[in-house]
Structure 1
Amino acid sequence: MKQSFLIILLSFCITVPCFSAFAEPLSSTEARNAAEEINIPEISAEAAILMDTTTGKILYEKNSKNKMYPASITKLMTVLLALENGNLNDTITFSHEAVYSIEPGSAHIAMQEGEQITLEQALYGIMLRSANEVANAVAEYVDGSVSAFAQHMTQKAKELGCETTNFVNANGLFDENHYTSAYDMALIAKELLKQDAYLDMMSATYYEIPPTNKQQETRYLHGQHQMLNQNSLYYYDYATGGKTGYVTQALNTLVTFAKKGDTQLVAVVFKCSGAQHYIDSKALFEYGFANYQTTKVLSMEAYTKTVEVIETYKNKTSTLGNITIAPKGDFYETLAADADLTTLKIESDFPEKINAPVTQGQEIGSLTVKLGEKIIATVSLLAQSTVETTSPETRLAQEKETKIKILKQIGLVFACIALAFVILLSITRTIGHFKRKKRRRQRTLRRKKHSKY
């Protein structure tokens, strides 16, 4: 009996602290973090990232900077360089090397040596059918050879801030030295959205290439990205574009854009089996749209200011004029989906006057963006024009001109004094003349008066 009582008592002592610990209420921050942890998707992709394409903010990542084999999502960089360096109406002629250097059985649209299509048609062949020989031809069109184009691709990736990327071909066919990362592919995809031509093409699921100089039949191109296909089990309402990829060593890779309201996201997933690349991408988008929103927190037009530009010479300060300062552009921020935008406020900090010289693009002041009392961003105010200091030659000319003005002013003063003196003298003489004349008249009148008597 005593042993049973001790066991019950010991159990009670152990349990009480547990109850008291759970009775402690969570702070609002802890509650939010806990809620977000519950909502974070579980994905099977070996590496992945979800990025806000407007702000560049990373909303989710998993092994995002690990070296991965991209397969055909490589072609997004091929399309980017083609649009940056080509003309959609230009004609592309397929070389023997472009057509016959691809692996047997890999994706193609049966282009022939010597066949010609436009760059626009070629890009649809790349985006919809992942045609490897077309990617080769585009590379040759841009840089003369696939190897030169691959170097161009790698250099462009570095310029975009990519940290784990090396391209050796234009189509993504496997090579141990051809690799990238989820983070780097998100940067490349984000840059591609700056191309208006791509924005017009990205959502296409069907395209026709009419007969060419070598092919009498029309080529009918159907898109492979199932999140864009309304008849697919994996169709996603908010998906707007992207690129599929597959090689044995990489399994399925996928880049997808999706937009809901003003929020546009890109999801990148690597090394997925079966249809998991579509399932994972949708899960990432659902998480992103549920928890975040892209908000324009300030507009360039609304926060354009004027600052006086001055310079000091020989202890004398002069005004050289006014310059306009403004943010680089409209500024967007990724905020929590439930953020109270009524608490959004902007505080400005810039001088009323600034010393020359001023260079266009120079930071003059800043804007602090707050949500409630929390600072969420600091935006630079930049000079919109250049104001130089006065050159020695100009300064000498100005000093000479000033001296001449002073001398002219002194001369004018003396002239005015002289004129006033002349006028005063003339008036004095006139007055004196009238006084003398009056005295003579008075004397004449007195003489006449005395003569009567």
Structure 2
Amino acid sequence: MKKRFLPFLMALSLIFPTSSVFAEEAENASTSNPASETQTSALNLAAETAVLMDAASGEILYEKNADQKMYPASITKLMTILLALEHGNLTDEITFSHDAVYNIEPGSAHIAIIEGETLTLEQVLRAIILRSANEASNGVAEYVDGTVEEFAKHMTERAKELGCKNTNFVNANGLHDENHYTTAYDMALIARELLTHEEYRSMMSETYYEIPPTNKQSETRYLHGQHQMLNPNSIYYYEDATGGKTGFTTEALNTLVTYAERDGMELIAVVMKCNGAEHYTDTAALFDYGFENYESVKLLSTAEHTATVTVTETYNDKPIELGTITAAPKEDVYHTLPKGTDISQIKVEMDCPETIEAPVKEGQTVGTLHITLNGETIKTVDLISQNAVDVMTDEQKATLDKASVSGILKKAGLIVVLLLLICIILLCITRTIGYLRYKNRRQRRRKRRISNRRRR
């Protein structure tokens, strides 16, 4: 029944301003109609910086000042959500401290969480995704790392691990700070990593959620999404959009991260520093450009290209076989190609040794796959060890040494036995020869005696 009335509720939310309890970020959106035509050959975006990324391959289809440092505003919260999912479970409970609730700017986005109130992590993440709640972000920070300051350091470190080179976070919610910055490209990397979490995928497309009464609140909270490209009642609705995050501060202006999927191709669009509704029209233009001109091609799967490598260790100048590892790509490999590209000539060549010296760690690069199209390399993929093989322990070496000594003794014993046999054989031969000589002498003597008798 609630789903039946959802479009009606969304329409009301657009007509009537929401109370300050559920204050949303000012998006400064104009009421003008979005662009009716998209320039696919040469995009003319209003955004100061922008990126369009293929989510499957991570390849950039379009960029404008992609590495320019910018203030992100609330799209920062995508990193907050990522760390929450990496370090918690949706059923975990968060009890909000005084600092989490009150250390936000007056009038900024919140859902009126009360000091001492307990919510599940899922409820908190819904509040962040749908209402961009700043105190909810603070609660996540304290839940994961104890303080917002430590969490901000964690955010920056994790960004670097993802390949972000121009990002520095100082808070969990994106409220303005001169030292809080990122880039369109770095935000695309963060957004792409979030897609690896099925919990996030299950949330990102939803536009409505209810938080029932809690230990501090007697009424249900009704959360409506802010991202207009997901709202069927909005003039900025984009049918293929599947999720994303809005952001706005006076300094950052409108920022936007959006996901969209069409015909099996998933794209990520990031636009930063936009006026009015430019963040929506620019994003729509980016998606139209990507979907009309490119396709995401699966080059290979992890199961199709694996290798078994023998792991050895040299001990006492001899290679000792310790076991084997399985080498395979970390994940299925995709590549973005212009539509209509003939992929029949794609070839995969494996460069992987038959043996490798211990130790080998799980996740270690042990070889590469070279993928070519019409003779030209289009992608080089690392082969990753799927298991670990350590060096020999002292006990194993001692066992080998004992086995070696035992082997030497066995060899020595065999040599002694062989020598004894040879001696016995020689002795037998000598005695046999002596006996034959003795017998021959006796025969000769007998013949002489017989001969002498006859002469007489």
Structure-1-length-normalised TM-score: 0.76
User: Match for residue 345 of structure 2?
Assistant: 343
Partner of 1:359: 360
Mapping for residues 274-313 of structure 1, pairs under 5 Å:
274-308=276-310
Name the CA shift for 1:412/1:200 in 2 (closer, same or farther; >3 Å). Answer: farther
Q: Partner of 1:188: helix, strand, or coil?
A: helix
1:114 aligns with 116
Matches of 1:317 and 1:184, distance apart in 2 = 46
CA contact (8 A) 1:344 1:369 kept: yes
Confirm or deny that 1:163 pairs with 2:168: no
Unpaired runs of 5+ in structure 1? 1-36, 425-453
Structure 1 position 400 matched with structure 2 position 405: yes
Moved more, 242-251 or 161-170: 161-170
Q: Does the residue aligned with 2:261 lie in a helix, a strand or coil?
A: strand
Question: 1:47 aligns to what?
Answer: 49
Once the two structures are superposed, the pairs formed by residues 179-328 of structure 1 within 5 Å of their partners are 179-308=181-310, 322-328=324-330
With 107-116 and 66-75 compared, the bigger mean Cα shift is at: 107-116
Q: Distance in 2 between matches of 1:221 and 1:266?
A: 25
Q: Distance in 1 between matches of 2:273 and 2:399?
A: 67
Once residues 314 and 75 of structure 1 are traced to their aligned partners in structure 2, the CA distance between those partners, rounded to angstroms, is 57
CA contact (8 A) 1:309 1:323 kept: yes
The 8 Å contact of residues 166 and 179 in structure 1, kept in 2 or not, is answered as yes
Return closer, same or farther for 1:58/1:115 CA change in 2, 3 Å cut-off. same
- Deviation of 1:308 (Å): 4.7
**1: CA distance, partners of 2:125 / 2:59:** 29
Larger mean CA deviation between 224-233 and 92-101 belongs to: 92-101
| 1:382–1:159 CA distance, 2 compared to 1 (3 A) | closer
| Partners of 1:261 and 1:147 in 2: CA distance | 42
Q: Quick one: structure 1 residues 231 and 347, their matched pair in 2 at CA, closer, same or farther if it must change by over 3 Å?
A: same
Q: Secondary structure, in 3 states, of the residue corresponding to 1:280?
A: helix
Q: Measure the CA separation in 1 of the matches of 2:423 and 2:72.
A: 94
In the other structure, the counterpart of 1:71 is: 73
Residue number in structure 1 paired with 2:335 = 333
- Higher Cα Rg, which structure: 1
Cα distance, 1:313 vs. partner?
A: 7.4
Preserved contact between residue 203 and residue 240 of structure 1 (Cα < 8 Å):
yes
Paired position in structure 2 for 1:99? 101
Deviation string, structure 1 residues 305-335 (Cα, Å, up to 9, x no partner): 2345567778877766654333333222222
Partner amino acid for 1:393?
A: A
1:373 alignment partner in structure 2: 375
Deviation at 1:241, TM superposition (A): 0.8
SS in structure 1 at match of 2:407: helix
In structure 2, C-alpha distance between the alignment counterparts of 1:313 and 1:89, rounded to whole Å: 52
Once structures 1 and 2 are overlaid, which stretch shifts more, 378-387 or 239-248? 378-387
CA-CA distance at 1:393 after TM superposition:
3.2
Matches of 1:206 and 1:418, distance apart in 2:
98
Instruction: Measure how far apart 1:280 and its partner are.
Output: 0.5
Alpha-carbon distance between aligned partners in 1 of 2:340 and 2:187, rounded to the nearest angstrom:
29
Alignment-mate amino acid for residue 171 of structure 1: N
Q: Note closer, same or farther for the CA distance 1:315–1:269 as it changes in structure 2 (3 Å cut).
A: closer
Q: What TM-score, normalized to structure 2?
A: 0.76
Distance between the aligned counterparts of 1:79 and 1:313, measured in 2?
49
Give the Cα separation in 2 of the matches to 1:390 and 1:135: 48
Residues 349-394 of structure 1, C-alpha deviations (whole Å, 9 max, x = no match): 3444x36435245544432211121211122334444264797534
Alpha carbons 1:227, 1:234 under 8 Å: kept:
yes
Specify the alignment match of 1:5 in structure 2: none
Alignment partner for residue 386 of structure 1, among 389, 401, 425?
A: 389
The percentage of aligned residue pairs carrying the same residue is: 58
Tell me how far apart the structure 2 counterparts of residues 402 and 153 of structure 1 sit (CA, whole Å).
58
**Which whole-Å CA distance do the structure 1 matches of 2:168 and 2:84 have between them?**
18
Equivalence for 2:25: none
Query: What letter is aligned with 1:334?
Result: T
What number of residue pairs does the alignment pair up?
Answer: 388
